[in-house]
Amino acid sequence: AQSVTQLDSQVPVFEEAPVELRCNYSSSVSVYLFWYVQYPNQGLQLLLKYLSGSTLVKGINGFEAEFNKSQTSFHLRKPSVHISDTAEYFCAVIGPGYSTLTFGKGTMLLVSP
């Protein structure tokens, strides 16, 4: 079965500091990986995705993620966060033979002044 582990349930940071949200997945075959963001009381929105090719993926709002096959990780980074980045971030995976996305349990990013 495919699974996703988001190691941190909550990450508090100060505004303009860098941040990394960690995501590890389990799969013995190639996968597609996604990061979604959920702002308070809203639906999910795609930040970025890895399908193939370059392992460094750039997304919206200055976020980027690096796919590391050997470590089965897809960590999300931003060099300088804003208050408006406060939200829940979900990592998701889908692999061959699976019909649906599997989401991690989410990481709440709390940005304070």
Partner 1 sequence: DTAVSQTPKYLVTQMGNDKSIKCEQNLGHDTMYWYKQDSKKFLKIMFSYNNKELIINETVPNRFSPKSPDKAHLNLHINSLELGDSAVYFCASSQGRTGGRDEQYFGPGTRLTVT
**Per CB under 8 A, 22 contacts partner 1:** no
- Separation CA 80–CA 77 (nearest Å): 9
CB of 17 to partner 1, least distance (A): 24
> Which residues neighbour 16 within 8 Å (Cβ) at sequence distance 6 or greater?
80, 81, 82
**Per CB under 8 A, 101 contacts partner 1:** yes
Nearer to partner 1, 30 or 80 (CB): 30
Task: Tell me which residues touch partner 1 (CB under 8 A).
Answer: 32, 34, 36, 38, 41-46, 49, 51, 88, 90, 94, 98-101, 103, 105-106, 108
